[in-house]
Structure 1
């Protein structure tokens, strides 16, 4: 059975996966089994769909990875001829997940099913839960370990060999309640939190701050939510705010937490308590990664796609794979265009020509690496 990535994409976008991925995973498994009964497709205990095409000869192991979950709410499927996007060119598919990441999935499927490796093996590993806690990716354990990994995400056919990590922490500020008519008798946690929010501005000036990366630049620190107080006529005893950290190598989540706690403690009055806690997760945070531009998988995919080599704009599960093998992020679609957000937005779309070209580029890369 021949595989048509556009036909699969249209079916996939019309298959909801923003609340439960079961129906979408069933479509994926049925597609793989119909196209290649010998690829040994399995669904593991973490819900990952894994299939293998093995040459039976020694050689490299290349992993193709992307995800099937999408963010709510569902956006209706639509195929538009000769339109879409900022420049209005080419047929597109609209719908939730078309760009992130069912377009990349269709491309990787085409490459996987179109490859008959001469040496080594290619593994397709498609995860659930990428948009939340990455439980699928964290559970993947390849044997043998991969020699290269291609992660499908919307990159406009550029080869993304680096990405910042993402850590999240909550800063809790504690004072003492008092009547608002006698504010001097209490310790105002909301007022103290305001000073500590301002202190975030010079966190990057600490001596232990990671040097800017040549590819990724400097890390960023952004407050995102805040809450505090329980009554309008009371000095608040507690206030908390959440910060988003986009990291660069070699910063770790715990290293960031410890440094921020020390920095804020130094800025807080003695009567104010300050605690910094990382968000609770059952899986590791997504750390920053960088793959050298001269690595074989980067070179092969750049030559096959014609795309630029650059960092990816968001944190990604590529972080997990980059700890064991050279890893790149690649695929059709864009996170945003000249009109605004594309991925995770009501106008999400992907160009069909890009989906087909992405599949061809990954297939050519596999041919180079597994010849």
Structure 2
């Protein structure tokens, strides 16, 4: 980094915390810029290389890269409970406006800075929070715990990296997952998510017998059977539960229907897709639709919901979030599935706390606030250094 870049990375920035100013974390901006500029929608290897290289050169942590491409860094007491700061360095495909080709002929993501924000694919979801967690691991003095940083691959593909890591034995007692939790309870506030919905994607396959449409009674109309199944889905109650006093309400919706081959042929097959947003401990009884004669229910994807299993941990992270900002963060619920679902399902007490705001991820104008990234750094470091409150 040039002297000029280093000075820019230490500029004081107005933060939305009562008008105060605070120095940016050393290296956070430069690291975030670097990570966001690296393409990682088709292959996250280069982004993983950058994460691993920085951790090895800038921290005293024990750094590991597994066979799946996940990156880990550990510091503190290896015999104590583990607090993990978790993220992912893969992203969804960029818009055409978010890519460019450098002088070396290599694709890069376009980054832009204005109005206190960094724009670029992955800035919000979630390389900015990954960078904040990396800096926290570099600087924190863990309070009687092992502090672990983990950045997974394949989160955008259903948690491929997290699931592989869990199968290989990754099992921290506590985890702060850096997905978005900003502006949930109010503008300019970074909250702490104690629960999120999961997603179960299903297909109802109705089978029948084809016939000429002029003699429909000689066939068995698969569309009619599919419609009977849709009627069952329509009448199902949405799953609902409460986590730490927060209401979590799921949903069930038919989203596609496909059947028939010609206007004059009774269809012998019809498929219906169902999107279900699951909640911790509750599922809609979709098997009822599969009990109709000639209808098979197939589960295509099942991303688990998350509920924090440790009140003291959730309260400690909320306390760290309060200390890091002048706003009044709250325990909140997130509507989207994340890698926290896989970790919670494996027994880790999880919360979510990160810089991304609702509506930023996966957009053509994706961006993240520098001030909120600074805040997340303070939260992550505060959790590690205040672990005696829950560990």
Instruction: State the distance in 1 between where 2:388 and 2:41 align.
Output: 35
Q: Is the 8 A contact 2:222 2:270 kept in 1?
A: yes
Partner of 1:290: 307
Tell me, yes or no, if the aligned pair for 1:63 and 1:123 is still in contact at 8 Å.
Answer: yes
CA RMSD of aligned residues (A): 2.3
Greater RCO (CA < 8 Å, at least 6 residues apart) = 1
Where does structure 1 lack aligned partners over 5 or more consecutive residues? 83-90, 337-341
Deviates more, 1:314-323 or 1:348-357: 314-323
Query: Could you say which residue in structure 2 is the equivalent of 1:87?
Result: none
Residue 246 of structure 2 aligns to a residue in which SS? coil
2:161 maps to which of 136, 140, 159: 136
Partners of 1:49 and 1:216 in 2: how far apart? 35
What's the CA shift for 1:325? 2.4
Q: Is 1:356 the equivalent of 2:378?
A: no
In 2, the alpha carbon distance for the partners of 1:220 and 1:145 equals 30
Whole-angstrom CA distance in 2 between matches of 1:359 and 1:155? 14
Q: 1:144 to 1:95 in 2, by over 3 A?
A: closer
- Whole-Å Cα distance in 1 between the matches of residues 385 and 377 of structure 2? 12
Contact preservation (8 Å) 1:291, 1:327: yes
1:64 equivalent in structure 2:
85
Provide runs of 4+ in structure 1 moved above 4 Å. Answer: 141-145
Taking a change above 3 Å as real, the CA distance of residues 28 and 60 of structure 1, as seen in their structure-2 partners, is: same
User: What's the CA shift for 1:370?
Assistant: 5.5
Equivalent-residue separation in structure 2 for 1:182 and 1:287 (angstroms): 47
User: Equivalents in 1 of 2:340, 2:143: separation in Å?
Assistant: 26
Unaligned runs of 5+ in 2: 2-24, 100-109, 183-189, 323-328
- Equivalent position SS for 1:32: helix
Alignment-derived partner of residue 54 in structure 1:
76
Matched residues in 1 for 2:131 and 2:46: separation? Answer: 16
Secondary structure of residue in 1 paired with 2:118? strand
More off after superposition, 234-243 vs 114-123 = 114-123
1:73 deviates by 2.7
Equivalent residues in 2 for 1:222-261 (5 A)? 222-251=253-282, 259-261=285-287
Superposition pairs for residues 1-371 of structure 1, below 5 Å? 3-36=26-59, 38-55=60-77, 58-74=79-95, 75-76=98-99, 77-82=110-115, 91-141=116-166, 145-156=171-182, 157-204=190-237, 211-213=240-242, 215-251=246-282, 259-265=285-291, 268=292, 272-279=293-300, 285-291=302-308, 295-306=311-322, 307-323=329-345, 324-336=347-359, 342-369=360-387
Deviation, 1:118, is 4.3
1: distance between equivalents of 2:249 and 2:117?
A: 36
